[in-house]
Structure 1
Amino acid sequence: MTFPELYILRHGETLWNAEDRMQGWLNSPLTPKGLEHARRQGAILAERDLEGFAFWCSPAGRAIQTAGLACPMAEAIHTDVRLREIGVGDWAGRLRHELPPGEGPDPYLAQYDMAPGGEGTAAVRARVEAFLAELQGPAVIVTHGITSRMLRATVIGDQVLDSPSPNGGQGGVYHLKDGVQELLT
């Protein structure tokens, strides 16, 4: 399957990111550093020709706050629940160091599949695949760390998952075009 050109942004740092707390579908506000992340993403996007691009965002407050700062050029920013972060079930709001460690090449990612009552990475992958299948053209997408990784793995390939990425690209913009990913910082 071929995919349109994409720019994928993870929301800026939140209070809970700074505390290393699992957020999942819960929300916490951006920190001053997170606000700077969003502004930096906006500066990166301002240097790009985004004519004809649709703007999409997770409905979570932290993503909407980031989109508002990073995407002032957008005439409209559409939300889609399929772009929300992975559900972490009983671990929502918990500090990572309180939880059992994940195993394998990326213990950080593996931890999400261990969460009791959580959604799991396969379910996130399925919902982002459905989102991408309906996408009508090039897009800027503001989302979350795990959701971003699943979007990028679907478009570029599973090698995106090969290296651990605890910060998930906060402050940067992933540009995906013609099967190639570039992190713009």
Structure 2
Amino acid sequence: MPQYPPLYVLRHGETAWNAEGRLQGHFDSPLTATGRVQARAQNSILRNRDLIGFAALSSPQRRAQDTAELALDGLLPYSSSEGLAEIGVGDWAGRSRAELMQVCPEARDTYDLYEHAPNGEGFAALHERCRQFLSNLTGPHVLITHGITSRMLRLILLGRELEDLRGMQGGQGVVFYLNEGVQHRLKL
């Protein structure tokens, strides 16, 4: 297994479309009041960590950058990286998960929608994008990303197989710390 630097991985706070049950993919919706509270909670978590020598990168998508502004406030500047963008969901971006479950009979649950989205990125392509992103990191980082991309990054960092993605823990308002193949879920 490749060696990776210590990393903190954050998912953006709740958005309007998260609350409405819509797929976002490369589309964006604004953080809700709850999402802003979650990002501030991530800031409180990170304030209790030693970030000396760390850099910060965010997805270029607005919801992640808005989270980065709050989560990193007073701690670290950040720049953006396309490698941290959310999985593309093609023609299904912006559509309701409930509606899509009706038109995609092969989906066992809403997780499967990410794999079956017409013109979407799919899990194998996301895995390759995330693997390349991680292989280019040269030091410790705080990464602000999205739900599925966060799971994929952590799956790779933990040396797990792609079929384990469904079981990867998620969460908004928490911070995952990964170092030497071990993951810690940090919360207030």
Q: Do they fold alike, i.e. is TM over 0.5? A: yes
Separation in structure 2 between the aligned mates of residue 108 and residue 4 of structure 1, nearest angstrom = 32
Separation in structure 1 between the aligned mates of residue 76 and residue 5 of structure 2, nearest angstrom = 20
1:92 partnered with 2:96: no
Contact 1:16 1:28 (C-alpha < 8 Å) held by counterparts: yes
Deviations 1:37-81 (A, max 9, x none): 000000000000000001000000000000000002444201011
Q: What secondary structure is seen at the aligned counterpart in 2 of 1:148? A: helix
Separation in structure 2 between the aligned mates of residue 95 and residue 109 of structure 1, nearest angstrom = 13
**Structure 2-normalised TM-score?**
0.91
Q: What secondary structure is seen at the aligned counterpart in 1 of 2:8? A: strand
Contact 2:111 2:166 (C-alpha < 8 Å) held by counterparts: no
**Structure 1-normalised TM-score?**
0.92
Alignment counterpart, residue 121 of structure 2, candidates 113, 119, 122: 119
Separation in structure 2 between the aligned mates of residue 117 and residue 153 of structure 1, nearest angstrom = 24
How many Å apart are 1:139 and its aligned residue?
0.5
How many Å apart are 1:115 and its aligned residue?
0.3
Contact 1:55 1:74 (C-alpha < 8 Å) held by counterparts: no
Tell me the residue number matched to 1:22: 23
Contact 2:47 2:75 (C-alpha < 8 Å) held by counterparts: no
Tell me the residue number matched to 1:36: 37
Give the % identical residues: 51
| One-letter code aligned to 1:161 | L
Which segments of 5 or more consecutive residues in structure 1 lack a partner in the other structure?
Answer: none
Contact 2:83 2:129 (C-alpha < 8 Å) held by counterparts: yes
1:161 partnered with 2:161: no
Q: What secondary structure is seen at the aligned counterpart in 2 of 1:2? A: coil
Tell me the residue number matched to 1:129: 131
Q: What secondary structure is seen at the aligned counterpart in 2 of 1:181? A: strand
1:173 partnered with 2:175: yes
Separation in structure 1 between the aligned mates of residue 97 and residue 9 of structure 2, nearest angstrom = 25
| One-letter code aligned to 2:26 | W
Change in Cα spacing, 1:79 to 1:34, as seen in structure 2 (3 Å) is same
RMSD over aligned Cα, in angstroms?
Answer: 1.5
Moved more, 115-124 or 150-159: 150-159
Contact 1:55 1:78 (C-alpha < 8 Å) held by counterparts: yes
Separation in structure 1 between the aligned mates of residue 181 and residue 168 of structure 2, nearest angstrom = 21
Deviations 1:117-146 (A, max 9, x none): 101111111111111111011100000000
How many Å apart are 1:82 and its aligned residue?
1.2
How many Å apart are 1:162 and its aligned residue?
4.8
Tell me the residue number matched to 2:154: 152
How many Å apart are 1:8 and its aligned residue?
0.2
Aligned length: 180
Contact 2:58 2:78 (C-alpha < 8 Å) held by counterparts: yes
1:77 partnered with 2:88: no
Runs of 4+ residues deviating >3 angstroms: none
| One-letter code aligned to 1:170 | Q
Q: What secondary structure is seen at the aligned counterpart in 2 of 1:158? A: coil
